[in-house]
């Protein structure tokens, strides 16, 4: 599927997403559905527009990642959770930070690093912030 749709599917695992690509045949309406092979030139991968994420009340982020990226990555995921309402000395902070998600363990490696980042339920595409996250991760 598209990168943005994949990101939202991971962020909202209980919601099922389906993305269909349509061709504009005459400029006057809905058009024909393109096959996955036609949509991406036959290369496969992320441009597969005739795919639907699992969704469902008990679907987890790991389930969606397994569906989109495969079992190899899903088997190397670790949960991450952080909630700061006070500093280490016990002083109450004026700003609370909550973080939850998954990261791959150190035994998993890929040539291309990917970081799907949501802040306040909004997909964030900020290169500098993603570089900072990668630096902290390493």
pLDDT digits (tens, 9 = 90+) for 55-92: 888 888 899 999 988 899 999 998 888 888 767 777 77
* Residue 22 falls inside a structural domain: no
Whether the pLDDT of residue 134 is over 70: the answer is yes
Place 42 in a pLDDT band, splitting at 50, 70 and 90. very low
Which helix (H) or strand (E) segment holds residue 65: the answer is helix 61-69
**Domain span holding position 93:** 3-17+53-137
In this predicted structure, what is the pLDDT of residue 75? 92
Question: How many separate domains does the chain show?
Answer: 1
Average pLDDT over residues 35-39: 38
For the entire predicted model, the pTM comes to: 0.66
* Residue 38 falls inside a structural domain: no
Alpha-carbon distance of 93 to 84, in angstroms, equals 8
83-106 per-residue burial string, b: 16 or more CB within 10 A, e: under 16: eeeeeeeeeeeeeeeeeebbebee
The tally of CA atoms less than 13 A away on the side-chain side of residue 91 is 5
CB atoms within 10 A of CB 119: 10
Which of 14-18, 19-23, 123-127 is predicted least confidently? 19-23
DSSP 3-state assignment of 136? helix
Q: Who has greater pLDDT, 54 or 42?
A: 54
In this predicted structure, what is the pLDDT of residue 63? 92
In tens, the pLDDT along 84-124 reads: 876 777 777 777 788 888 888 888 887 777 788 888 888 88
* Residue 127 falls inside a structural domain: yes
Which of 10-24, 40-54, 124-138 is predicted least confidently? 40-54
Alpha-carbon distance of 130 to 85, in angstroms, equals 24
* Residue 29 falls inside a structural domain: no
In this predicted structure, what is the pLDDT of residue 23? 63
Backbone conformation region of residue 27, classed left if phi is above 0, alpha if psi is from -120 to 50, else beta: left
Question: Quick one: angle between helices 3-11 and 61-69, nearest 10?
Answer: 150
* Residue 113 falls inside a structural domain: yes
Torsions phi, psi for 63 (to 5 deg): -60, -45
* Residue 30 falls inside a structural domain: no
Local structure of residue 96 (DSSP, 8 states): E
Would you say 123 and 11 are in contact if contact means Cβ atoms under 8 Å apart? yes
Helix count and strand count (H, E) for the chain: 5, 6
In this predicted structure, what is the pLDDT of residue 99? 81
* Residue 25 falls inside a structural domain: no
* Residue 57 falls inside a structural domain: yes
């Amino acid at each position: 599927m598209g990168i943005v749709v994949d990101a939202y599917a991971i962020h909202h695992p209980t919601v099922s997403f389906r993305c269909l690509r349509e061709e504009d045949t005459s400029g006057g309406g809905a058009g024909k559905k393109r096959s996955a092979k036609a949509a991406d030139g036959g290369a496969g991968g992320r441009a597969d527009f005739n795919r639907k994420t699992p969704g469902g009340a008990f679907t987890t982020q790991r389930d969606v990642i397994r569906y989109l990226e495969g079992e190899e990555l899903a088997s190397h995921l670790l949960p991450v959770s952080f909630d700061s309402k006070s500093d280490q000395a016990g002083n109450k902070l004026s700003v609370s930070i909550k973080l939850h998600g998954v990261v791959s363990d150190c035994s998993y490696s890929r040539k291309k690093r990917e970081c799907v980042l949501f802040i306040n339920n909004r997909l964030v595409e900020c290169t500098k912030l993603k570089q900072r996250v990668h630096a902290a991760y390493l």
